[in-house]
Amino acid sequence: MTLDARTPAPVDRIVIAGGTLTAWIAAARLASAFRDTVRVTVVETAERPTAQVTALAPAFRRDLLDRLGTPESAWLRACCASFNAATRYRGWRPEPVYLPNPGATPSCEGFPLTDFWQLRRSTGHTLEPVDHACFVTPPLLDARKSPRWLDGRTAFPHGWHADAAMLTHFLRRTAVRTCGVRLHSAEILGAERDPAGLVTALHTTRGREEGDLFLDCTGRAARLLTGILGEPFRPADDGLIADTLATVTLPHDSARHGVAPYTAVTTRPEGHTWHRTLLDRRTTGLAYTSGRTGAAEAERILAAPAGTVVTHTATPAGRLRRSWVGNCLALGTAAASADPLDEDHADTLALLDQLVRDLPSRDGRTTPAARFDATAAALHEQALDLARLRRLTSPYAPPVPAPDHLRQVLDAHSAGLAPTADELPLRALLTALTPHTATPPPSLAHHPHAIRTADDAFTRIKRHQRTLLETLPDTHTYLTAAGSLPTPALA
């Protein structure tokens, strides 16, 4: 099909600013989607990944790596990846509790299975923790089992942990060599704008780079949206979310200690710590509030050996007033920031998928921009609410009242009311962290058949757990067999 004069002029030049992991995720996704019809250029600035070990959502493989045609063995080895099948929370309750990734709770005849666990607990029919009763994975994670058999078959859903710098390098190489992404390594000096205020080109230390659509992936510097277009940042200053992250990476002997296929989180008076383990190293982070905890105290909490480099990163929670301004849009921390614990790049992939489907013409940006910004705002608010709930339910919760909409969720949880679709992630987290604060739904008394069906479901879960415990390899064995440690050429 050919275009005539009545057809809106298509966007055929996309320029991505930034050297971050988000920049190269965007470049690979867009170039693989549009192939030879859109020219994708990355103006690679000095910004680099801030986390040493990053989390990757379960969708990362399907929505990005599979589209690139990349064999799992190649990218596992290229970024020293390991598995991340759940978050293990410690300190909220007397015993640790797992929330699988993704955190959807199994259902039975329209009720979450956790509702039936609540009923069994209230009537004295079980003392088993809610996670071990309602999910297959917790005893497997206790045993550090791999979510895959040695032949590559998947036993249960999972995401990954990966070295952020190595993953960025891998995507950079793949995007340039396989997808035809143009690389322009330079610093941004300014921009040319037309009479309508749209950016037409970036001025860099190595010349001009023209484009029709510009993506700001420069991290918290937000060089395009804030630096050039002046879009203001709106902080989420409610006293519930930490504003600084301290991280340290140390060697890890996985042959001796194994590889935890989950993220371990511990609540503390200062905020929370988390651990992410690869085959040969482990990153520990502390999210804390700088007004109450100093850098030296944060390093003492991390217990890093003398001489170890501890990285401190400002992570103020909030978002730009708009994520899409004119013909420029922001992704990742250039657009918004919540709790670094929740940064698994799922929101970035979801927004890129929407951009691929709603790519505007050069003169038809208004509606796609409004829709994109609404989606970005909703995703960010959900991330903020998860971070708020973790803090509100901690025994070290600050004396800050819950926002009204979260108070409604807490009240519905306590009363045993069915969650709405929007509440599902929040209610799953509440059930994991505070299961004993809820009552069984009164409506269960009218569904005896559902109760019997749930009893069968609990039995099947126990049987499935025993089978997988007997047949799955441990995570260290699987990753070693898969060659997850990089060769020197890929490091």
Reported as a single tens digit per residue, the pLDDT across 130-170 is 999 999 999 999 999 999 999 989 999 999 999 999 999 99
> What dihedral angle (degrees, nearest 10) is formed by the CA atoms of 135, 136, 137, 139?
100
Residue 491 has pLDDT above 70, yes or no: no
Residue 2 has pLDDT above 60, yes or no: no
Residue 335 has pLDDT above 70, yes or no: yes
One DSSP character per residue, 410-475 reads HHHHHHTPPPPTTTHHHHHHHHHH-GGG----GGGGG-HHHHHHHHHHHHHHHHHHHHHHHHPPBH
Rounded CA-CA distance 70/84 in Å is: 20
Give CA separation, 165 vs 215, 298, 299, in Å.
20, 24, 23
Residue 95 has pLDDT above 60, yes or no: yes
- Which residues make beta-bridge pairs with 54? 162
User: Quick one: average pLDDT of 385-404?
Assistant: 93
User: Which of the four pLDDT bands, split at 50, 70 and 90, describes residue 468?
Assistant: very high
Give CA separation, 435 vs 2, 45, 316, in Å.
60, 47, 30
Alpha-helical segments (H) within 217-294 = 254-257
Domain boundaries, the chain: 13-58+160-236+318-387, 242-316
Q: Could you read off the pLDDT of 48-94 as tens digits, one per residue?
A: 776 689 999 999 999 999 999 988 888 889 999 999 999 999 999 99
Class of domain 13-58+160-236+318-387: alpha beta
- Which residues make beta-bridge pairs with 191? 202
φ, ψ of residue 88 to 5 degrees: the values are -105, 115
Sheet holding 336-337, edge to edge: 233-235, 318-320, 336-337
Percent of the chain surpassing pLDDT 90: 77
Position 107 scores a pLDDT of 87
Percent of the chain surpassing pLDDT 70: 96
Alpha-helical segments (H) within 303-397 = 346-357, 366-392
Residue of 4 and 314 predicted with greater confidence: 314
